[in-house]
Chains A and B, each alone.
Chain A
Amino acid sequence: MNALLGQIGLLSARLLAQGSDRGWMPKQRSTIAPEVDAIFDFILVVSVFFFLLIVGAALYFIIRYHRREGDPMPGGVTHNMPLELLWSGIPVVLVCIMFWWGFKVFVDMRTPPDNAYEISVRAQQWSWEFWYPNGISYDELHVPANQPVKLVMTSEDVLHSFYVPEFRVKMDVIPGRYTTTWFEALYDDEGSNEYPLICAEYCGTDHSSMITKVVVHTDDGFVDWLANADPLAAIPEELWPEYEKDPDKFIKDHPEIKGLKTPALMGQKLYKRKGCSQCHSIDGTRVTGPSFLGIYGKQEEMEDGTTVTVDANYIEESILNPNAKVVKTYPRGQMNSYQGRITDREIAMLIEYIKSLGQK
Chain B
Amino acid sequence: MSTVDASDASGGVQAAAATDTSNYLTASRGIASWMFTRDHKRIGIMYLVGILTAFFLAGIFALLVRTELLTAGRTIMDADTYNKFFTFHGVIMVFLVIIPGVPAALGNFVLPIMLGAKDVAFPRINLLSFYLWCGGAIFLLCSLVMGGLDTGWTFYAPYSTISKEPIYGVIPALLAVFVVGFSSIFTGLNFVVTIHKLRRPEMGWFDMPLFVFGIYATGIIQILATPVIGITGLLLIIERVAKIGIFTASMGGDPVLFQHFFWFYSHPAVYIMILPAMGVMSEIISVFSHKHIFGYKFIAFSSLAIALLGFLVWGHHLFVAGQSGLVSMIFSALTFAVAIPSAIKVFNWLATMYKGSITLETPMIYALSFIWIFGIGGLTGLFLGTLAVDVPLHDTYFVVAHFHYVMAGTIFVFIGGLFYWWPKMTGKMYKELWGRLGALIFFVGYNMTFFTQFIIGLKGMPRRYYDYEKLIDVIPGIAGLHMFSSIGSYVMAVGLLMTGFCLLQSLFRGRKAPDNPWGGASLEWRTTSPPPLENFNEEPHVGDPYDFSDLEWDKEIGGYVSTGIRKPATGH
A: residues with CB less than 8 A from B are 24-26, 35-36, 39-40, 43-44, 46-47, 50-51, 54-55, 57-58, 61-62, 65-67, 69, 71-80, 83-84, 87-88, 91-92, 95-96, 98-99, 101-107, 109-110, 157-159, 161, 163, 165-166, 168-172, 174-177, 179, 195-196, 198-209, 211, 331, 333
Contact = CB atoms under 8 A, between A and B. Distances in A.
Name, among A168, A172, A174, the residue most crowded by chain B CB atoms within 10 Å (CB to CB).
Answer: A172
B53 interface: no
B325 interface: yes
Given A36-B391, A208-B467, A159 B255 contact: yes
B270 interface: no
A126 B372 CA distance: 40
B528 interface: no
B256 A161 contact: no
A104 B387 CA distance: 9
B309 interface: no
Contacts of B322: 171-172, 174, 177, 179
Nearest to B325: A110
B52 interface: no
A210 to B, nearest CB: 9
A65 B371 CA distance: 18
Name, among A80, A101, A207, the residue most crowded by chain B CB atoms within 10 Å (CB to CB).
Answer: A207
A104 B388 CA distance: 8
Given A66-B358, A67-B359, 4 more contacts: A54-B350, A58-B353, A74-B289, A172-B321
B118 interface: no
Given A39-B386, A47-B380, A170-B394, A87 B79 contact: no
A157 B162 contact: yes
A61 B347 CA distance: 13
A202 B289 CA distance: 46
A165 B460 contact: yes
A333 B548 CA distance: 68
Contact of A195 (B152, B291, B463, B474): B474
B79 A208 contact: yes
Given A67-B359, A74-B291, A99 B332 contact: yes
Interface string B145-174: 000001010001011001110000000000
A205 B549 CA distance: 62
Interface of B: 79-80, 83, 150, 152, 156, 158-159, 162-164, 249-250, 253-256, 289-298, 319-322, 325, 328-329, 332-333, 336, 339-340, 343-344, 346-348, 350-351, 353-360, 368, 371-372, 375-376, 379-380, 382-383, 385-392, 394-396, 455, 458-460, 462-468, 470-471, 474-475, 546, 548-549, 551, 553
A51 B386 contact: no
Name, among A78, A83, A107, A179, the residue most crowded by chain B CB atoms within 10 Å (CB to CB).
Answer: A78
Contacts of A176: 249-250, 253-255
Contacts of A198: 460, 462, 471
A180 B52 CA distance: 46
Contacts of B83: 202, 204-205, 207
Nearest to A32: B388
A107 B466 CA distance: 34
Nearest to A35: B388
Given A88-B343, A107-B325, A202-B159, A99 B386 contact: yes
Contacts of B375: 50-51, 54-55
Contact of A103 (B296, B387, B546, B551): B387
B156 A202 contact: yes
Given A175-B249, A202-B156, A92 B340 contact: yes
Contacts of B549: 73, 75
Contacts of A74: 289-291, 355-357
Contacts of A92: 340
B392 A211 contact: no
Given A158-B159, A172-B321, A208-B79, A61 B353 contact: yes
A198 B546 CA distance: 54
Given A78-B292, A105-B388, A177-B249, A26 B460 contact: yes
Contacts of A175: 158, 249-250, 255
A208 B379 contact: no
A207 B465 contact: yes
B388 A199 contact: no
Contacts of B328: 106
Given A36-B392, A163-B462, A206 B79 contact: yes
B159 A65 contact: no
Given A47-B379, A109-B391, A73 B255 contact: no
A103 B459 contact: no
A67 B290 contact: yes
A99 B336 contact: yes
Given A62-B358, A79-B297, A95-B339, A174 B383 contact: no
B463 to A, nearest CB: 8
Contact of B465 (A58, A65, A208): A208
Nearest to A57: B350
Contact of A208 (B350, B382, B466): B466
A91 B340 contact: yes
A61 B320 contact: no
22 contacts: A43-B386, A57-B350, A61-B356, A66-B359, A73-B551, A83-B351, A84-B348, A88-B340, A92-B340, A103-B332, A159-B158, A169-B391, A170-B394, A174-B255, A175-B249, A176-B255, A196-B474, A198-B460, A198-B462, A203-B159, A207-B79, A207-B465
B291 A76 contact: yes
Q: Give 5 closest A-B pairs by Cβ, nearest first.
A: A176-B249, A165-B460, A102-B386, A106-B387, A105-B388
A61 B467 contact: no
B248 to A, nearest CB: 8
B346 A54 contact: yes
Nearest to A336: B250
A72 B357 CA distance: 8
Given A67-B358, A73-B291, A200 B250 contact: no
A203 B351 CA distance: 47
A79 B156 contact: no
Contacts of A84: 295, 298, 344, 348
Contact of A54 (B250, B357, B371, B463): B371
Contacts of B379: 47, 50-51
B156 A159 contact: yes
B145 to A, nearest CB: 20
Given A73-B549, A103-B329, A165-B460, A204 B163 contact: yes
Name, among A77, A161, A201, the residue most crowded by chain B CB atoms within 10 Å (CB to CB).
Answer: A201
